[in-house]
Amino acid sequence: MTPQDSVPIIPSFGGEGDDGQRKLAIICSKGNLDMAYPGLILGAAALGNGIETHLFFTFWGFDMIAKTRMAKLKFSPVGNTAMHLPIGDARMPQALAPLPGIQALATKMMRKQISELDVPEPPELLQQIVDMGGHLWGCRMSADMMGLTEDDLFDGVEAIINADTFIEKTYGAQLLFI
Amino acid sequence: MPVAIICGHAVELDKDGFLTDYEEWNEILAKQLAANIGIDLTDRHWELIRWLRADYRRLGVSSTTRHTQSAGGFSIKEQLELFPKTPAKKMAYVAGLPKPQGCV
């Protein structure tokens, strides 16, 4: 092996234009099962690319990190006109969406579809984010509104902080609001 | 497809620089690929690389960090120690597998 032998094309592991300083902040404000995934998956993907990543859980997004609720997120087809039935492109009539049992059924179906893709449940994804060095923060105002303390939150949450502190911590970051 | 000469052998690479042919890979090549990205392969690296290649042969896709943890037993923390910062891509690169396509 000589230096001349070395491959001229070495993959860019950071991504084009990445100077190693890229930073991502994701604000998770929804507690529905379907709205929990985008932030968690993008966060895990960012960490897999070596990007410093911060997730801030606020309002209903608190359900994603509250110990007693995080494993029980639900999906509701109410108000979701893109909800399809498992038959071709048939859409679910909105009149059916609020019927008893539909939310439970839709939640069960979504969990099954996601698990078939080998994508973990939200709590396991949160743990993956922590294992990869991601930072999880709870929102002070939401915690106060819901009467929750750090003891009530997933262990990987570093602290409950106010909006101001989050803005300080994510100086220069790209930001996603979900 | 670009072709590169690595360790005296011509190998085909995809546009990102990953090997395209599973059979073109060998351990000497892996050492050079690892050196290209500043990694000195230890016994544990080799265990992981061999598992990744066997897993690819089984499933036909490059393993993600999560799958490497759940199916291979290599914790995400260990993967990060062995292949820092971007473990899934670096593991696939050194193991001569395509760039991983999975989301997590």
The complex's ipTM works out to: 0.83
Q: Could B16 and A11 be called an inter-chain contact, meaning their C-beta atoms sit closer than 8 Å?
A: yes
A4 pLDDT more than 50: no
Domain extents in chain B: 3-94
pLDDT digits (tens, 9 = 90+) for A28-58: 999 999 999 999 999 999 999 899 999 999 9
Q: Give me the pLDDT at residue A16, please.
A: 54
The answer to whether the Cβ–Cβ distance between A11 and B77 falls below 8 Å is no
**Coil, helix or strand at residue A79:** coil
Domains and CATH numbers, chain A: 22-75+121-177 (3.40.1260.10)
> What phi, psi does A162 have (nearest 5°)?
-85, 170
Q: How far is CA B76 from its chain centroid?
A: 15
Given a cut of 70, is residue A3 above it in pLDDT? no
pLDDT for A55 equals 98
Cβ pair B99:A11 closer than 8 A: yes
**A120 contacts in B (CB within 8 Å)?**
66, 104
Give the pair of three-digit tokens for residue A134: 């991601």
Can you say whether residue A20 is alpha, beta or left, with left for phi > 0 and alpha for psi between -120 and 50 degrees? left
Does A6 score more than 50 pLDDT? no
Give residue A72's pLDDT: 92
Active site residues of B: 103
Tell me if chain B has a CB within 8 Å of the CB of A125.
Answer: yes
Over residues A83-102, the mean pLDDT reads 84
CB-based contact, A7 to chain B, within 8 Å: yes
pLDDT over 80 (residue B1): no
Token pair for residue A16?
Answer: 């084009």
Angle CA A159–A139–A175, to nearest 5: 100
Distance linking the first and last C-alpha atoms of chain B: 28
Taking a C-beta distance cutoff of 8 angstroms, is the pair B88, A48 a contact?
A: yes
